[in-house]
Amino acid sequence: MKAREGASPPLLDKERGIKGVRLVNNLNSFRLIQTCPDSKARVGELLTPHGEVPTPVFLPVASLGAIKTLTPEEVKDVGIAMVLANTYHLYLRPGINVIEKIGGLHRFMAWDRAILTDSGGYQVFSLARLRQVSDEGVIFRSHIDGSQHHITPELIIQFQETLGADIIMALDECPAHDDSLEKVNRAMERTHRWAERCRKAQKRRDQALYAIVQGGIFPQLRHQSAEYLTSLDFPGYAIGGLSLGEPKRVTLAMIEETVALLPEDKPRYLMGVGSPEDIIEAVARGCDMFDSALPTRVARNGALFTWQGRYNIRNAAYSQMEQPIVSGCDCYTCRNFSVGYLHHLFGCEELLAYRLATIHNLRFISSLMAKLRGAIGSGTFPHFKDNLLANYQPTDEETRLSQKQRWLKSRFKPVVD
Amino acid sequence: MKAREGASPPLLDKERGIKGVRLVNNLNSFRLIQTCPDSKARVGELLTPHGEVPTPVFLPVASLGAIKTLTPEEVKDVGIAMVLANTYHLYLRPGINVIEKIGGLHRFMAWDRAILTDSGGYQVFSLARLRQVSDEGVIFRSHIDGSQHHITPELIIQFQETLGADIIMALDECPAHDDSLEKVNRAMERTHRWAERCRKAQKRRDQALYAIVQGGIFPQLRHQSAEYLTSLDFPGYAIGGLSLGEPKRVTLAMIEETVALLPEDKPRYLMGVGSPEDIIEAVARGCDMFDSALPTRVARNGALFTWQGRYNIRNAAYSQMEQPIVSGCDCYTCRNFSVGYLHHLFGCEELLAYRLATIHNLRFISSLMAKLRGAIGSGTFPHFKDNLLANYQPTDEETRLSQKQRWLKSRFKPVVD
């Protein structure tokens, strides 16, 4: 901060707390280590300029350059190797140029492990207003101040190259889950053309650009999309446009249809999935990477993960409980605080409550991912999965869908096409 | 948290992360180490069952059992040796019995250093509604749910013994700064009678009970109060009823009038003072202990301490600044983040913003206290003070008073006496 008097303070050490990007050829690649003989589950490793990321991996969401409530140190402490940041959000605030000036996204958020930036496609189609989509790109209005912006696949790549994440995403058009086949088909074809243009626009060679398979809930479109995009040979493939309000059996069916056509030796990234039960099912179907705001968002609402299911700490029954949230959990929260204390903090809306809950939920998910990798590695995945799901009571389908739809409704506006 | 199935999880280890209270005779005492030859400033040490506390010391406020936004670990990391918790707030939420059940206040909030609990006097007279004050005690309505409560000096001691802080406070009646001499006199005399009753009610011998000098802005009352209370020989004396909206020169004059009549060998605790400029002036006048929500409250509003004064990080001028808040500051925030990043987090209302700002402000105040102790110890206090105040631009008197009065107005309701 500029002092009113005296000499200017020195700049922050650019390397303080963060490693620089090591420019090594083929640094950004995927290594498949082992596959489960009884399912499509697999363990692997992403090699990135900011460290190795064992898969299956869960990426918490740092939309605006911070995992809500946590410092980078805490995010590391819970065992997170990679986070997702949103190009759309960072483009609007603080602006790509500000992050460039401060030394890129890793430096800006003081995170020295891997980062994946999404392309903003999902946000433009779910959050922004007054969209006009053409082959050229999208004109939209900011959800914050209504200002008008025009993005193209080329610009989105330029933004992501400036941000400097390890993995970047092609711009996609993300239809609603109940759109017609015709509309979904049109969005898919545009997504394909945009993926090619993103590919051509890429200048940096130290970032891995993933394509996004679309096709909604139509198996034939999913096939078409997976076949077309894999023919272009991207270093990784995302499955987009799922978990947007469709029934869970449909989500799982679409994952199967898509994965069947994706290459073995490339990572598969299922976008927007983050509940323990959904992650397990998707891992069984061959997915390697996941991102979702769910574990952190529900934490701030007081919903805490246990191996028996999700519990809400606000429940009066927890007011005098001496135990930690999960017996034996090694997170900072469970090592130090009782359920009664957390209940009290939530009741008073003390900001510390949201942190302690977030730490626990992220540690839970990161432990779950480690357990999944261990089970696949030791050949016990089917047993582990059955056992876990037998004890874990998921939020029931009806509640889940109505919650999801309520949440989406508050964000999702009709696409002006 | 109770699992739906399976065996009950074990209780949290009572000693995990916290030291038990060591019951040693004369553990709670004060040692005067050195006095400044040119002022009344002095360095000393409080010996408590939870460690030694070097004075002058600043106590941040953990009203509800948490320093807002911070974990106990972070509070330690910034160099805090003692915190203040509010009996009034904890009595209303979660209730004294809940904290007793979970193992006392240290255990409840997982803080293994010293704690001081206030008596609730100030809160009852500033925050609660429909007060009826008699010699017996106070009947008031909760500011949260309107429920009616009756407290007495004896009950307040019982509550504080159950909470188990290292230093506890006698119940006092705290008049408004513009009350008449007659009214202030009546409150003072009642405060004296209550102090005696608190003394008699005390059962635990490992807690130090401090009395509170009242007397408003009337020198003769301040003399009377200090003389009377010191005649009862408490282990420490607080100066209450100041910094409530009166001009700063009056505050300082009242401190001088009071300290002149307090014993050399007992700690002097100036309640409710927390700005760097006020702390320095009060240290020069012989005060040893301070508490205030100011450093943490203004941090959450974006006002950050520097050696040149307080700056508001929300100012647009800071949006692209690469520097840390204070060059050379060793706090986690300054070591890792740019002013531009903090400005961005505040702009987006990311909860991490409030934490990072709180860490910086508390580290600033705790460094200030260490510098003050060092200067007094090395005989350079007057020079240090002049130098610091020459560079430090305090919030101007007019702004300060109007801010304070606006804040008090939102809390202070007329006393029903």
Q: Which of A297, A302, A294 minimizes the C-alpha distance to A273?
A: A294
Show pLDDT as tens, one digit a residue, over chain B (417 residues).
Answer: 443 433 444 445 444 333 333 333 466 899 999 999 999 999 999 999 999 999 999 999 999 999 999 999 999 999 999 999 999 999 999 999 999 999 999 999 999 999 999 999 899 888 888 789 999 999 999 999 999 999 999 999 999 999 999 999 999 999 998 999 999 999 999 999 999 999 999 999 999 999 999 999 999 999 999 999 999 999 999 999 999 999 999 999 999 999 999 999 999 999 999 999 999 999 999 999 999 999 999 999 999 999 999 999 999 999 999 999 999 999 999 999 999 999 999 999 999 999 999 999 999 999 999 999 999 999 999 999 999 999 999 877 667 777 777 766 665 443 333
* Mean per-residue pLDDT over chain A, rounded: 91
Residues 390-409 in B contacting A (C-alpha not used; CB under 8 Å): 391, 393
Give the integer Cα–Cα distance in Å for A80 and B213: 53
The pLDDT tens digits for A33-49 are 999 999 999 999 999 99
Q: In the prediction, which pLDDT does B18 show?
A: 37
Last residue of a domain, one of A258, A293, A328: A293
Task: Report CA-CA distances (Å) from A81 to A45, A78, A126, A383.
Answer: 11, 9, 28, 26
Helices (H), B60-115: 72-77, 87-92, 96-101, 105-109
Quick check: A360 contacting B, CB < 8 Å? no
Indicate whether B69 and B188 sit together in one domain: yes
Does A2 score more than 60 pLDDT?
A: no
Give the integer Cα–Cα distance in Å for B34 and B169: 26
Answer whether residue B68 is part of any domain. Answer: yes
Q: Which of B84, B78, B38 minimizes the C-alpha distance to B64?
A: B84
Answer whether residue A278 is part of any domain. Answer: yes
Q: In the prediction, which pLDDT does B12 show?
A: 54
Cβ contact, residue pair B324, A3, below 8 Å: no
Instruction: Identify the CATH number of the domain in which residue A130 sits.
Output: 3.20.20.105
Last residue of a domain, one of B246, B269, B293: B293
- Mutation choice for B interface testing from A108, A311, A312, A344 by most B CBs within 10 A: A344
DSSP A166-218: SEEE-------TT--HHHHHHHHHHHHHHHHHHHHH---SSSEEEEEE--TT-
Angstroms from A363 CA to nearest CA on chain B: 16
Cβ contact, residue pair A351, B347, below 8 Å: no
- The minimal CB distance from A16 to the residues B323, B335, B351 is found for B335
Indicate whether B304 and B174 sit together in one domain: no
Last residue of a domain, one of A293, A309, A341: A293
Answer whether residue A146 is part of any domain. Answer: yes
- The minimal CB distance from B344 to the residues A4, A93, A320 is found for A93
Answer whether residue A408 is part of any domain. Answer: no
Quick check: A254 contacting B, CB < 8 Å? no
Given the residues B278, B288, B291, B417, select the one marked as catalytic: B291
Residues 51-70 in B contacting A (C-alpha not used; CB under 8 Å): 64-70
Place of tokens 């009352």: B221
Q: Take residue A231 and report the two structure tokens written for it.
A: 């023919």
Does A271 score more than 80 pLDDT?
A: yes
Does A130 score more than 80 pLDDT?
A: no
Indicate whether B206 and B280 sit together in one domain: yes
B328: which residues sit within 8 A by CB, 6+ positions away?
A9
Q: In the prediction, which pLDDT does A5 show?
A: 37
- The minimal CB distance from B311 to the residues A1, A103, A345 is found for A1
Q: Please count the CA atoms within 13 angstroms of the CA of B285 that sit on its side-chain side.
A: 22
Q: In the prediction, which pLDDT does A413 show?
A: 42
Backbone angles phi, psi at B41, to 5 degrees: -60, 145
Indicate whether B306 and B214 sit together in one domain: no
What is the chain A residue with the closest CA to B305? A1
Indicate whether A273 and A334 sit together in one domain: no
Cβ contact, residue pair B337, A110, below 8 Å: yes
Indicate whether B305 and B274 sit together in one domain: no
Give the integer Cα–Cα distance in Å for B335 and B327: 9
What is the chain B residue with the closest CA to A391? B5
Cβ contact, residue pair B108, A338, below 8 Å: yes
Give the integer Cα–Cα distance in Å for B286 and B254: 12
Helix (H, G, I), strand (E, B) or coil at A111: coil
Cβ contact, residue pair B93, A338, below 8 Å: no
Q: In the prediction, which pLDDT does B125 show?
A: 85
Place of tokens 């958020």: A109
What is the chain B residue with the closest CA to A306? B3
Given the residues B77, B118, B278, B417, select the one marked as catalytic: B118
Indicate whether B279 and B318 sit together in one domain: no
Cα-atom radius of gyration of chain A, to the nearest Å? 21
Count of the separate structural domains present in chain B: 2
What is the pairing mode between strands A82-86 and B138-141?
unpaired
Angstroms from B342 CA to nearest CA on chain A: 10
Cβ contact, residue pair A309, B102, below 8 Å: no
| Containing structural domain, residue A304 | 300-398
Interface predicted TM-score (ipTM)? 0.91
B351: which residues sit within 8 A by CB, 6+ positions away?
A68, A69, A351, A354, A355, B69
Q: Cis check for the bond before A94: say yes or no (omega within 30 of 0).
A: yes
Answer whether residue A99 is part of any domain. Answer: yes
Give the integer Cα–Cα distance in Å for B392 and B305: 10
Q: In the prediction, which pLDDT does B408 show?
A: 67
Angstroms from B1 CA to nearest CA on chain A: 5
Answer whether residue A410 is part of any domain. Answer: no
Q: Please answer whether residues A38 and A65 qualify as being in contact, where contact means their C-beta atoms are separated by less than 8 angstroms.
A: no
Q: In the prediction, which pLDDT does B407 show?
A: 66
Indicate whether B144 and B47 sit together in one domain: yes
Angstroms from A86 CA to nearest CA on chain B: 14
pLDDT band at residue A127 using 50, 70 and 90 as cut-offs: confident
Q: Please answer whether residues A175 and A122 qualify as being in contact, where contact means their C-beta atoms are separated by less than 8 angstroms.
A: no
Q: Which of A155, A167, A102 minimizes the C-alpha distance to B345?
A: A102
Active site residue B233: no
- In chain B, what residues touch A344 (CB-CB under 8 Å)? 64-65, 93-94, 98
Cβ contact, residue pair A345, B66, below 8 Å: yes
Quick check: B322 contacting A, CB < 8 Å? yes
Cβ contact, residue pair A323, B10, below 8 Å: yes
Angstroms from A33 CA to nearest CA on chain B: 35
Cβ contact, residue pair B340, A98, below 8 Å: yes
- The minimal CB distance from B354 to the residues A306, A344, A351 is found for A351
Answer whether residue A9 is part of any domain. Answer: no
Quick check: B320 contacting A, CB < 8 Å? yes
Give the integer Cα–Cα distance in Å for A138 and A132: 6
- In chain A, what residues touch B314 (CB-CB under 8 Å)? none
The pLDDT tens digits for A370-411 are 999 999 999 999 999 999 999 999 877 667 777 777 766 665
Q: What is the mean pLDDT of residues A105-130?
A: 93
The 3-state DSSP composition of chain A as helix, strand, coil percent (nearest 5) reads 40, 20, 40
Burial class for A255, CB neighbours closer than 10 Å (0-12, 13-18, 19+):
buried
Indicate whether A35 and A174 sit together in one domain: yes
Cβ contact, residue pair B9, A323, below 8 Å: yes
Cβ contact, residue pair A94, B319, below 8 Å: yes
Q: In the prediction, which pLDDT does A66 show?
A: 98
Does A62 score more than 50 pLDDT?
A: yes
Give the integer Cα–Cα distance in Å for B326 and B328: 6
Quick check: B145 contacting A, CB < 8 Å? no
Q: List residues of A with catalytic annotation.
A: 118, 291
Residues 167-206 in A contacting B (C-alpha not used; CB under 8 Å): none
Q: In the prediction, which pLDDT does A26 show?
A: 63
Answer whether residue A165 is part of any domain. Answer: yes
Indicate whether B240 and B314 sit together in one domain: no
Cβ contact, residue pair B321, A71, below 8 Å: no
Taking the alpha carbons of B318, B324, B325, B327 in that order, is the dihedral positive or negative? negative
Distance of CA B323 to the CA centre of its chain: 31
Indicate whether B184 and B226 sit together in one domain: yes
Give the integer Cα–Cα distance in Å for A399 and A408: 14
Helices (H), A46-180: 72-77, 87-92, 96-101, 105-109, 121-126, 153-163
Indicate whether B213 and B102 sit together in one domain: yes
Residues 3-22 in B contacting A (C-alpha not used; CB under 8 Å): 3-6, 8-12, 16-17
Q: Cis check for the bond before B94: say yes or no (omega within 30 of 0).
A: yes
Angle at B229 between CA B226 and CA B234, to 5 degrees: 120
Quick check: B94 contacting A, CB < 8 Å? yes
- Mutation choice for A interface testing from B297, B352, B364 by most A CBs within 10 A: B352
Q: Hey, which residues does B311 pair with through a beta bridge? A: B304
Q: In the prediction, which pLDDT does B410 show?
A: 61
